[in-house]
Structure formats: C-alpha cells, structure tokens
Amino acid sequence: MRLGPFVAAALALGAALPAAAQIRLPAGPGVEQVYARCRTCHDLQYVVDGKGLLPDQWRAVLASMKDYSLTLPEDERERILHYLTTYLGPHPPPAAPADGSETHAADGRAVYQASCAACHGAQGRGQPGFYPPLAGNPDLWKDGRLPILVVLHGLAGPIEVAGARYDSAMPPFGHLSDEQIAAVIGYVRSAWGGAPAGRAPEPITPEAVARQRGRAMTAAEVHAYRAQAQ
C-alpha cells in the first residue's frame, strides 16, 4: 500500500514521456531551428508552457539558456527569438490551414537544409569535435534501421566516426513525417557518394520509418543499439 504513490507517479511519468516526444509546435519560419536547438537538454514542454510570454521575457529565457551553455550563432538566435515572440507570444497569428505540405515536402534536400545542415553542414562534412560528418559516413549503411532510429529518437553518447571521437547529443526529429524522414535519409545516403563497396543498399521507405516510430526509445537507447549494429 505504501508504494501506491510511487507506482502512480512512475505510471504517470511513463505515460508522459512518449507524449512529450511528440509535441508539435505551430508552423512558422524558424520552427525548424527551435526543434533542432531546444530539445537537447529538455523536451519541448518547457517551450510550449512559455506560450504567451512577452518579447522581453522570451529574450530573458534565451539569455538564461545561454547560462546553461546553449550557444547559438547570432542569426539563428534572432530567428528563434522571432519565432518564439511571434508564434508563442501573446497574440499568435491564426494557425496556417493544413495544405498537405507534409507529404509534398518529402524533398530530402529541402528537409536536410532546413533540419540538419545547421549542425552537419550544407555539404554533410560536420564540424570536427562537435558534429560527425554524414558525407561518406559508412554508418548510414550499417543497418537499415539505425539512421531511422537516430532521426526519430536522437542519439547521445560517445561515438567514433572516421577515426574521430564525438561525445555529444543529437535531438530527436520525430516531428518530421515518415515521408520526410525517409526522404532525408535517402538524401544523405546519396548526395555525397553512395553505398560503400560490398553493401547491398536497403532502401528506406516511409513504411519502414512508421514501423520504428512506435518504439519509445531514448537517445541513449539508440546509442546502445548503434553499438551492436552491423
């Protein structure tokens, strides 16, 4: 009986986790930067709870994230601030009508430039010590599931790519549609060279993404999966 509240709390937490991973922000310019930059330390619940803050208050929030060691290039900071004050401010514009753009937007290059290039670079070369390269990275071909899991659920923990060590975290991109994720993985696999010799490429389909989406994995669990992927 005395364990009652603990069990209830654990159940509530367990129920809240997948929901938090699926938080969707209102569409608008800059939203991709928020998804990319504001989920490495906490989920987007904090950001959504800030809805209605005044511009100066959002500015102060970003300043305090800096104290927690979030570093942003100036142009990105401005873009994020503009997004937060416009779409999560006291008077947000009405939500844009659904125009099916999610399915139309399954252009891998466009998804890459909007969601991945900030860290992995426009040419997929990454940034030494911080972001691993995707160009010529054999891990993209290791096992059909690995790149899907990384994009859906993120990746956290030490890894080695092309002889260099990285020990950082990539946020999850589960807000992208199955079509967008399949397209962006197809893009990074083909844009800067194809499969390494001897690899029979297994195409990534939206259906394959949908199958992995239901797995409530953490970025650390994807790291453990990566360690044993062939």
User: Which residues lie near ligand HEC (CB under 6 A)?
Assistant: 36-38, 40-42, 46-47, 50, 61-62, 64-65, 68-70, 80, 115-116, 118-120, 131-132, 134, 137, 139-140, 147, 150-151, 155-157, 159, 161, 166-171, 173, 184, 188, 223, 226
Q: Is residue 189 a contact partner of residue 195, using CB atoms and an 8 Å limit?
A: yes
**Residue 8 Cβ, how far from ligand HEC at the closest point, in Å?**
22
185 closest CA partner among 222, 219, 225, 137: 137
**CA–CA gap between residue 165 and residue 173 (Å, rounded):** 23
**Residue 161 Cβ, how far from ligand HEC at the closest point, in Å?**
4
> Of 85 and 97, which has the nearer Cβ to ligand HEC?
85
**CA–CA gap between residue 61 and residue 13 (Å, rounded):** 25
**Residue 62 Cβ, how far from ligand HEC at the closest point, in Å?**
6
**Residue 1 Cβ, how far from ligand HEC at the closest point, in Å?**
31
> Of 19 and 117, which has the nearer Cβ to ligand HEC?
117
Instruction: For residue 21, give every residue at least 6 positions away whose Cβ sits within 8 Å of its Cβ, in sequence order, or none.
Output: 43, 153, 172, 174, 216
Q: Is residue 154 a contact partner of residue 148, using CB atoms and an 8 Å limit?
A: no
> Of 87 and 131, which has the nearer Cβ to ligand HEC?
131
**Residue 97 Cβ, how far from ligand HEC at the closest point, in Å?**
25
> Of 140 and 208, which has the nearer Cβ to ligand HEC?
140
> Of 2 and 190, which has the nearer Cβ to ligand HEC?
190
- Angle (CA) 99-105-110 rounded to 5° is 140
179: how many CB neighbours lie within 10 A of its CB? 20
Q: Provide the greatest CA pair distance for the chain.
A: 61
